[in-house]
């Protein structure tokens, strides 16, 4: 699947910042620096569009997203999951920033990044150890590393550890829109 999402970052006045400061796992950076550097899907999912074959509809949705992006602290991501091949136009419109693990639900406008919540600001050392494998965007640099992480996460869930397992985790190839 190819999903186009518009996400608004939480402002520094966000009610959870004090808790994030206490749980920060990247010790040489402030919470603000970690959040700014992280290029995955964390914040409020403002809008979601499942990209299919209708190029005109895609362009129309993208145009709307670009208007919103300019009005608020929003950013646009292309999320590829499953066996989706990269659309040819993506190379010119977006930059690949890595792989995130979690879920993005267009129906409920809910998003969850396991990297953000369980590695960068988590409490299980086994998962936090993966911070050493993250790239400069605080995402996984390869699908192989993301798959190993999901296997460990699933194993911990099967052992009864209280990892986030309400829904099955998906690996997303993340592309940040250039504009």
Give domain limits for the chain.
2-177
What sign does the dihedral 51-99-42-89 (CA atoms) show?
negative
DSSP string, 125-174: HHHHGGGGG--TTSSBSSHHHHHHHHHHHHHHHHTT---S-SS--EEEEE
For residue 85, pLDDT over 90 is answered with: no
d(CA 112, CA 131): 17
Instruction: Please give the model's pTM, rounded to 2 decimal places.
Output: 0.88
* 113 pLDDT tier (thresholds 50, 70, 90): very high
Give the pLDDT confidence of 5-24 residue by residue, as tens digits: 988 886 655 566 556 666 66
């Amino acid at each position: 699947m190819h999903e186009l999402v518009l996400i608004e970052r939480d402002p520094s006045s966000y009610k959870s910042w004090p808790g994030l400061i206490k749980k920060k796992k990247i010790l040489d950076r402030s919470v603000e620096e970690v959040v700014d550097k992280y290029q995955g899907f964390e914040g409020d999912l403002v809008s979601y569009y499942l990209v299919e074959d209708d190029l005109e509809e895609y362009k129309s949705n993208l145009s709307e997203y670009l208007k919103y992006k300019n009005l608020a602290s929003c950013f646009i991501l292309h999320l590829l999951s499953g066996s989706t091949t990269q659309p040819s136009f993506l190379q010119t419109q977006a930059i690949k920033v890595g792989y995130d693990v979690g879920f993005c639900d267009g129906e409920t406008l809910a998003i969850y990044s396991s990297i953000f919540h369980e590695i960068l600001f988590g409490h299980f050392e086994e998962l936090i150890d993966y911070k050493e494998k993250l790239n400069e965007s605080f995402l996984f640099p390869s699908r192989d590393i993301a798959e190993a992480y999901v296997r460990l996460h699933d194993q911990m869930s099967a052992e009864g550890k209280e990892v986030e397992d309400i829904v099955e985790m998906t690996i997303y190839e993340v592309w940040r829109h250039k504009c």
